[in-house]
Amino acid sequence: MLCFVRHETDPYFNIAAEEYVLKNFSDDCFMIWRNEPCIIVGKHQNTLAEINPEYVAERGIKVVRRLTGGGAVFHDLGNLNFTFVANRQPGDNMVDFHKFTLPIIDVLRKLNINAEFSGRNDLVIDGRKFSGNAEHVFKNRILHHGTLLFSSIMSDLVNALKVDPSKFAGKAVKSVQSRVTNISEHLQQPLTVLEFRDLIMQHIIEATPGARECSFTDVDRQAIMKLRDEKYSTHEWNYGISPDYNFTKKVKTEGGNLHVAMVIEQGVIKHVRIFGDYFHLQDPVEIETALVGRIHNYDEIRNCISEFDISDYFVKINENELLSVLV
């Protein structure tokens, strides 16, 4: 088994690296890595239905779609991620969450933490989730990856994933909110996230005959960067392949109530109506028309409405209030 401690914290690169290893290596591999603050959404999710777009935009939190299914997760530098890529052996169950999470449970039990597998794909301590896991099959190879909340900033986790479930209707896999905990809260002796990372790597190497540490070559890195740039950092991948959906939202302002209804197809606004008891000087249909054909994300919509003097279209309603009802 090839074992990689990855030091890159760019989520676009790190998610691209998983696909590259899955499809271009023939050895079994283990990788452990961290991301700067980001949200990683499942392959089949409606991205905007999983994130708090204002919070994400204000803090520059990256949003990346992964290959695997399941729900959205928040990463920061207090969270470790582990990845197994393995060849299928005769008689193997291709989807086996227990097999790939057992080494993590073993490490935690060495630290006198009673971790256990729970539900479909989670690891918990005293009933509180610290790890979510997902898998993807490609030919005779399987990719299994999981999160390990170690010392994450929980307020960021909660706020970045905070979304009004009444806004969206359509075919998409919604995340299930769970009670979560950091591993560091349960340690009997202090340990840094990097020390914990090294304990996991040490355990994997000692428990796996023939396992050895290695690094990506320059050729590997160039190929991963190409995949990063052409796929994982693009709007088309991260937002555009979201299922079609309807979006509605209401806000109350000094100038009256605003109610927006939109139809989104392939991440693009196809129909939009702005209702309410507001007053106007110019017909808001001009803004509705301008929004059609735009990508449904925070920055795109902000750029669109900034071209208008909003006070002419919505008396006593400002640009930020209008923006808040459109995303």
* pLDDT tens, residue by residue, 62-99: 999 999 888 889 999 999 999 999 998 766 666 678 88
Predicted pLDDT at 179: 85
Predicted pLDDT at 242: 67
Predicted pLDDT at 278: 80
Instruction: Please report which confidence band the pLDDT of residue 50 belongs to, taking 50, 70 and 90 as the band edges.
Output: confident
CATH 3.30.390.50 positions along the chain are 245-326
* DSSP H or E segment with residue 274: strand 268-276
Which of 254, 298, 279 shows the shortest CA–CA distance to 47? 298
CATH 3.30.930.10 positions along the chain are 2-240
Residue percentage of the chain with pLDDT more than 90: 58
Cα 149 to Cα 108: distance, rounded to the nearest angstrom:
13
Predicted pLDDT at 256: 84
Whole-prediction pTM value? 0.77
pLDDT tens-digit readout, 238-280 = 987 666 788 888 888 888 888 888 898 878 899 998 887 787 8
Average pLDDT, the chain: 89
Asked whether residue 162 carries a pLDDT value surpassing 80, the answer given is no
pLDDT tens-digit readout, 172-204 = 555 555 688 999 999 999 999 999 999 999 999
40 by DSSP, 3-state: which? strand
> Among the CATH numbers 2.10.10.90, 3.30.300.30, 3.30.390.50, 3.20.20.70, which is that of 245-326?
3.30.390.50
321 class by beta-carbon count within 10 Å (0-12 exposed, 13-18 middle, 19+ buried): middle
Residues 97, 68 contacting (CB under 8 angstroms):
no
Six-digit token pair at 72?
């959205």
Fold annotation for 2-240: BirA Bifunctional Protein; domain 2 (3.30.930)
Greater model confidence, 106 or 169: 106
